[in-house]
C-alpha cells in the first residue's frame, strides 16, 4: 500500500515540466533545435524564435495588438526580422519575457561573420577617382595661371 502511494506522487510531478514548457526551476536553461521549434506551428501550440530565444506565444495570440494572423504566419520559425521590421516598442520587448521558454541550440544559430568580408574588399575599384579629380583640378589651375601670365606679358 505504502509503495503504491509513493509511485503515484512521482508520476504526477514528472508530468508538469514537459506540459508547461517552463524552464527548470533550478535555473537551468533549456535548448531547442530549429526542428523542435518548427513542430509548434499551429494556433493551439505556437512557438517563435526571436534573437535566438524561443517563446511559447500560444496564450498571447489573441492579445497581440498587431493581430494573430501575423504571428501564425511566423509560427514555428524565426520571426526576428519581422519583429524588428515593425519597430516594436520597449513595452513589446518586455512582454516577450513572459513567454520565454529557452534558447535556440548553438548549432542552429545564424553565423554573422560572413557579412564583414564584403565591406573590406569593396574599396579597390573606386580608388582611381580619388586622385583623378584633384589631378584635373591642378591641371586646370595650371592652365589658367599660364593664360593669365601670357595676357600680362603682352599688355
Q: Contact positions toward ligand HEM, by CB under 6 A?
A: 48, 55, 57, 60, 64-66, 70-71, 74, 79, 82-83, 86, 88-89, 91-92, 95-96, 99
- The minimum distance between CB 25 and ligand HEM, in angstroms, equals 23
- The minimum distance between CB 27 and ligand HEM, in angstroms, equals 23
Residue 75 sits at the vertex; the CA angle it makes with 38 and 67, to the nearest 5 degrees, is 175
Choice between 71 and 104, CB closer to ligand HEM = 71
Choice between 35 and 84, CB closer to ligand HEM = 84
DSSP state of 30: P
- The minimum distance between CB 91 and ligand HEM, in angstroms, equals 5
Given a contact cutoff of 8 angstroms between Cβ atoms, the answer to whether 130 and 78 are in contact is no
Residues 6+ apart with CB under 8 A from 24: 17, 30
Of the candidates 110, 107, 87, 129, the residue with the CA atom closest to the CA atom of residue 31? 107
Choice between 22 and 95, CB closer to ligand HEM = 95
What's the rounded Cα separation, in Å, for the pair 33 and 41?
Answer: 14
Comparing every residue's Cβ against ligand HEM, the nearest one is 66
What's the rounded Cα separation, in Å, for the pair 45 and 59?
Answer: 9
- The minimum distance between CB 83 and ligand HEM, in angstroms, equals 4
- The minimum distance between CB 97 and ligand HEM, in angstroms, equals 9
With 0-12 / 13-18 / 19 or more C-beta atoms within 10 angstroms meaning exposed / middle / buried, residue 41 is middle
Choice between 31 and 61, CB closer to ligand HEM = 61
Amino acid at each position: 500500500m505504502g509503495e503504491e502511494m509513493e509511485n503515484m506522487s512521482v508520476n504526477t510531478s514528472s508530468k508538469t515540466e514537459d506540459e508547461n514548457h517552463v524552464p527548470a526551476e533550478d535555473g537551468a536553461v533549456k535548448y531547442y533545435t530549429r526542428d523542435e521549434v518548427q513542430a509548434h506551428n499551429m494556433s493551439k501550440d505556437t512557438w517563435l524564435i526571436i534573437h535566438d530565444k524561443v517563446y511559447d506565444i500560444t496564450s498571447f495570440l489573441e492579445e497581440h495588438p498587431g493581430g494573430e494572423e501575423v504571428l501564425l504566419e511566423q509560427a514555428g520559425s524565426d520571426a526576428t526580422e519581422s519583429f524588428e521590421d515593425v519597430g516594436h516598442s520597449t513595452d513589446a520587448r518586455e512582454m516577450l519575457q513572459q513567454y520565454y521558454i529557452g534558447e535556440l541550440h548553438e548549432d542552429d544559430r545564424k553565423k554573422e561573420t560572413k557579412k564583414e568580408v564584403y565591406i573590406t574588399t569593396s574599396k579597390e575599384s573606386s580608388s582611381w577617382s580619388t586622385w583623378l579629380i584633384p589631378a584635373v583640378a591642378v591641371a586646370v589651375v595650371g592652365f589658367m595661371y599660364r593664360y593669365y601670365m601670357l595676357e600680362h606679358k603682352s599688355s
